[in-house]
Amino acid sequence: MAQAPVSTTIVQDYAERFAGSRAMHERARQVIPGGITHDGRYMKPFPPSIARAQGAYKWDVDGNRLIDYVMGHGSLLFGHNDPDILAAMQAQLPVGTHYGAGHEGEIRWADEVVRLVPSAEQVKFTGSGTEATLLAIRVARSFTGRSTVVKLEGHFHGWHDYLLKGERPPFEAGAQPGIPREVLGTVAVVASNDLGMLEERLAQPDVAALILEPSGGSWATIPLIEGYLQAARDLATKYGVVLIFDEVITGFRWAPGGAQERYGVTPDMTTLAKIVAGGMPGGALAGKRALMEMLAFKDEPGWNTSKKVRHQGTYNASPVVAAAGAACLRKAADPGVQRYCDEMAARLRAGFNAAMVERGVPGYAWGESSVFHVNLGEAAPNQEGGDMRSPDGVSAETLKSASQNAVNSQLRLGMMVEGVELFTPGGMTSTAHSVEDIDETIAAFGRVLDRMGEEGAFAG
């Protein structure tokens, strides 16, 4: 007698198809806490283990091909193994990977940053984005002689002690494991999009700097209202506060000159990483000369001991990274690059929204430039089925915690089973993503929604 087909769940399919990753995760857990090297890679029942990557794709240890929207946490604007970036690194490797000294590569790299980024009159390279934001606030504090840094709810600036405060809900939580309260006390968090609250805080005499992601918190997860950046610029100028745009994600992605070029608002300093280093480990602080000079040694009496900001870093502008960065920025200077990536992300957002509307599934996809986010389970008041920048009427808390909800976790697993790796869920596009990749992703999304519906994900 024929047996009825046994239907499996998304989780079961994931566990079966990615069995090699589970084994790898078990091994990793023995020697790496929790088995992951970045909190953002936490995933239940276990994360994928990748064996190789090329262009828009990654292959896991079981040979599953994944269309990749993690894109090196946003650092791979040209996809995996871009031939020009690869060639630049390969040319550098045999002539030295660390000189412990200055070299032409770092000047060429700095030239590219200065050429592209409106606020960049000078650049200082760092080892990561976290180091760049740490350095930025140190410079601002020394320059102004004040100590408080103001930031916005839900904005991420790396993992050092100062700026994790207010990064995720509950935004007002006063304590962070391992971070002294005294340190937290030097940072003030204001609500995203509340200009009245911002002015009230900036008007106080202790404020050295305002730092924000010009895309809105966590790469446009919490969009900023129209005109916010210009208003922030005006307020910072009015109160003598250093305005820092954290363009670790938006730099060279929102436009060749980053979000500041796209929105026409120039900060005093800019923090960069990811694309600036061509997907290699590196970052930069760029800014107006008067501020950047805080990092320079001077012959003025007392300057070097009482005013100059200290900055070291074994891997700052290391030659291979500098070569990758300069090669990447030469390519990113063509605005056609960002236009293409933007179009691919807009197509995805519209396709995802249409798929949800067609099926009557509550949820929305949003974002801008070449990023997208998805939140399933709850409809946005303005959901129309098209490309959407901002899900108006949804709280910053909801948007920021979407990635933690069970339905979105199931979506992520379902997409993996379909051969698509999302980030958070959401992701970023690159020049390596073809229209076919995007359409394949939208079709996969529809199938996953159907399957989730069958599993009762949207019931109640």
Ligand X SMILES: Cc1ncc(COP(=O)(O)O)c(C=O)c1O
- Residue 123 pairs in a beta bridge with 286
- Interaction of residue 244 with ligand X, rule CB under 6 A: no
Q: Quick check: 248 binds ligand X (CB under 6 A)? A: yes
Nearest-angstrom CA–CA distance, 429 and 76: 9
Which tokens hold the place of 445?
């999304």
- Interface with ligand X by CB under 6 A: which range of 79-87, 183-191, 246-254, 353-361? 246-254
Minimum CB–partner distance for residue 371 and ligand X (Å): 11
Q: What is 217-278 written as a DSSP string?
A: HHHHTBPPPTTHHHHHHHHHHHHTPEEEEE-TTTTTTTSTTHHHHHHT---SEEEEEGGGGT
In the bound state with ligand X, the residue whose beta carbon lies nearer, of 241 and 275, is 275
Please give the full DSSP string across 280-335, using - where no structure is assigned. Answer: SS-EEEEE-HHHHGGGS---STTHHHHTSPP---TTTT-HHHHHHHHHHHHHHTSH
Q: How far is the CB of 282 from ligand X (least distance, A)?
A: 8
CB of 70 to ligand X, least distance (A): 11
Residue whose CB is less far from ligand X, 250 or 266: 250
Dist. CA 414–CA 270, nearest whole Å: 38
Total residues interacting with ligand X, rule: CB under 6 A: 14
Strand partners, 149: 187, 209
**Dist. CA 356–CA 97, nearest whole Å:** 50
Residue closest to ligand X, measured at CB = 129
Q: Which is nearer to ligand X, 143 or 156 (CB)?
A: 156
156 lies in the site for ligand X, by CB under 6 A: yes
Q: How far is residue 362's CA from residue 222's CA, in Å, rounded to a whole number?
A: 19
Q: Which of 119, 130, 318, 353 binds ligand X (CB under 6 A)?
A: 130
**Cβ of residue 150: shortest distance to ligand X, in angstroms?**
16
Q: Does 280 bind ligand X (CB under 6 A)?
A: no
Binds ligand X by CB under 6 A, chosen from 283, 319, 425, 427: 283
For residue 179, give the nearest of 166, 158, 160, 157 by alpha carbon.
Answer: 160
Region binding ligand X by CB under 6 A among candidate stretches 122-130, 143-151, 172-180, 311-319: 122-130
Q: Is 18 in the site for ligand X (CB under 6 A)?
A: no
Q: Does residue 273 touch ligand X according to CB under 6 A?
A: yes
- Nearest CA among 445, 386, 390 for reference residue 412: 445
Query: In the bound complex, what is the minimum distance in angstroms from residue 251's beta carbon to ligand X?
Result: 9
- Distance between CA 368 and CA 215 in Å, rounded? 8
What binding mask, one character per residue, do residues 392-431 give for ligand X by CB under 6 A, x or -?
----------------------------------------
Sheet holding 207-212, edge to edge: 122-126, 283-287, 269-273, 242-246, 207-212, 148-152, 187-190
CB of 293 to ligand X, least distance (A): 24
For the window 45-84, what string marks contact with ligand X as x by the rule CB under 6 A? ----------------------------x-----------
270 CB-side CA count, 13 A = 32
Which residue's CB is nearer to ligand X, number 82 or number 213?
213
189: which strand partners?
Answer: 151
Q: How far is the CB of 52 from ligand X (least distance, A)?
A: 23
Does the footprint of ligand X cover residue 165 (CB under 6 A)?
no
228 forms part of the interface with ligand X (CB under 6 A): no
213 scored as a contact of ligand X (CB under 6 A): yes
> Residue 158 interacts with ligand X (CB under 6 A)?
yes
Nearer to ligand X, 159 or 239 (CB): 159
Give the gyration radius of the chain's Cα atoms. Answer: 23
CA distance 213 to 247: 6
Interaction between residue 284 and ligand X (CB under 6 A) = no
Identify which range of 6-14, 125-133, 138-146, 452-460 contacts ligand X by CB under 6 A: 125-133
Among 64, 92, 133, 424, binds ligand X (CB under 6 A): 133
Is residue 246 a contact point for ligand X (CB under 6 A)?
yes
Secondary structure letter of residue 370 according to DSSP = T
Residue pair 457/427 in contact (Cβ under 8 Å)? The answer is no
Strand order in the sheet with 371-376: 363-366, 371-376, 426-428
Closest by Cα among 390, 286, 352, 370 to 75: 370
Answer for which of 146, 157, 433, 451 binds ligand X (CB under 6 A) is 157
CB of 4 to ligand X, least distance (A): 47
From 152-160, 190-198, 320-328, 354-362, span contacting ligand X (CB under 6 A): 152-160
Query: Residue 249, interface with ligand X (CB under 6 A)?
Result: yes
Name the site residues for ligand X (rule: CB under 6 A).
Answer: 73, 128-130, 133, 156-158, 213, 246, 248-249, 273, 283
